[in-house]
Amino acid sequence: MRHAKFLFAASLAAVALDGCTVGPKYVRPAVTTPVAYKEPGQEWKVAAPSDAISKGTWWEIYQDPQLDALEDQLTAANQNLKAAEDQFAAARAAIASVRAEYYPNLSVSPSVAGYGQSQNKALYANNGNQTYADYQIPFDVSYEPDLWGRVRQSVESARTQAQASAADVANVALSMHAELALDYFDLRSMDSQAKLLQSTVESYTEALHLTQDLYNGGLASAVDVAQAQTQLETTRAQAVDVEVERAADEHAIAVLVGQPASTFSIPPSPLGAPPPAIPPGMPSDLLERRPDIAASERVVASENALMGVARTAFFPDVLIGAAGGFDSAKITTLLEGPAGFWSLAGTAAETIFEGGARHAAVREAQANYDQSVDNYRETVLTAFQEVEDNLAALRILENEATIQQGAVAAAQHSLSLSETRYRGGVTNYLEVTTAQSAALADERTAVDILARRMAASVLLVKAIGGGWNVSQIPHL
């Protein structure tokens, strides 16, 4: 009993020592944060639609019911998003698996055995009992106290990895919603292009009829008719070609919302108003608003914990074990007091030589941590670049749109003059076709600029995090 009390006291002492954690304390890596964005003179107005951004339903700022409905379908049915959520669920389960190491292992292995003695056995006791039975219910308990913090560091690594997975879910959701909006606005730009080309085909058809009438009256040449016919057929071909990209956009949207492309369709509707103003916030806010930055930072924290796990290998492993149960030759006396047995033991093991494996493991953990820090800082730099890219794109494209509208007006005026001159017999039809081509090209460019402005606004919302905040990461 004195030995048992000594081992029990030693066990309690080991548990009391279960608070020494080996490894570096985690500090978020420092990054360079600009005071302000580079784009000057941006007077971002916080309009009513910006409330949707803070709620995470940022697509509502475009005030397009069709887009809103598609985004809601994506939230419910996108397979990439579901896969990310499943990965997060697995990461949460991994935490519970590692936390189980805090507790002792208890096992029981009941057994029943029958034995028959050999009469030729040495020291055979001829007491008349040549056969007997043995009934056992043994219990085994083993416990490894977390003296050096290996389990705590492992739990911390699993916890921060799960938090990174949670941020990945938010990043996938943001990416998928942004991809849907980009495809949607590209599809709408194709609708605008189709509407413009169809209107142009109708105008060119009338022009061809006019030229044929003039030719029949001897006021135009066959060359003029051929040029008018060529211009019409070329524009018809362009109108058909637009359908290819629109179909691809529609099919891509079908996949994003979890529907078969064969049964999915979106009614045509051209682009409407230009994009709304989007307040980018302060650069310092970006570290808290981008889920990919948060995920990268949580990976750094996980690698920091794994460095501590690697360093615990230099300290001895302590294991406390206990066994007990009941053993009897008769099942009727199995659970009686005299049938009980027990044992208690403690062991410590320290590796003396392993060829430098532990030092190599520490160096590997340190290198993995350094790599995660580099990746984190690169993610931050890329985030600032994306915001600056799209702020610049919105400013430049707005100026370009204004200039392009002037070009469209000038091209339409030139076309009107050319048509008047042709009807008056002052010039040939080549001048008209040249003016027609210029006018159509300028109008298509104006539509393309509007589509690029819509895309830049979506990418800006994505770049600033889409209303997400680091506070949404679960504590676990």
Q: What topology is assigned to 17-104+149-316+357-472 in CATH?
A: Outer membrane efflux proteins (OEP) (1.20.1600)
- Going 111 to 116 to 118 to 123, the CA torsion angle's sign is positive
Domain ranges of the chain: 17-104+149-316+357-472
Q: What is the DSSP letter of 72?
A: H
Select from 70, 449, 2, 465 the least CA-distant residue to 259. Answer: 70
Residue 287 has a pLDDT of: 92
Distances (CA, A) of 40 to 391, 392, 453: 10, 9, 18
- SS3 of residue 140 by DSSP: strand
Residue 20 has a pLDDT of: 66
Cα(170)–Cα(165) distance, integer angstroms: 9
Q: What does pLDDT average to in each consecutive run of 10 residues of the chain (476 residues)?
A: 47 49 87 85 46 84 95 96 97 95 92 80 65 86 92 95 96 97 97 96 94 92 94 95 96 97 95 88 90 96 95 92 88 83 90 92 95 97 95 95 97 94 89 94 96 96 93 92
Distances (CA, A) of 129 to 116, 326, 327, 332: 9, 22, 18, 18
Helices vs strands, H then E, count in the chain:
10, 5
Select from 31, 29, 310, 274 the least CA-distant residue to 149. Answer: 310
Amino acid at 280: P
Residue 47 has a pLDDT of: 40
Amino acid at 334: L
**142, containing H or E segment:** strand 131-143
CB 158 within 8 A of CB 344: no
Q: What angle do CA 224, 228, 234 make, to 5 degrees?
A: 145
Phi, psi for residue 326 in degrees, rounded to 5: -135, 140
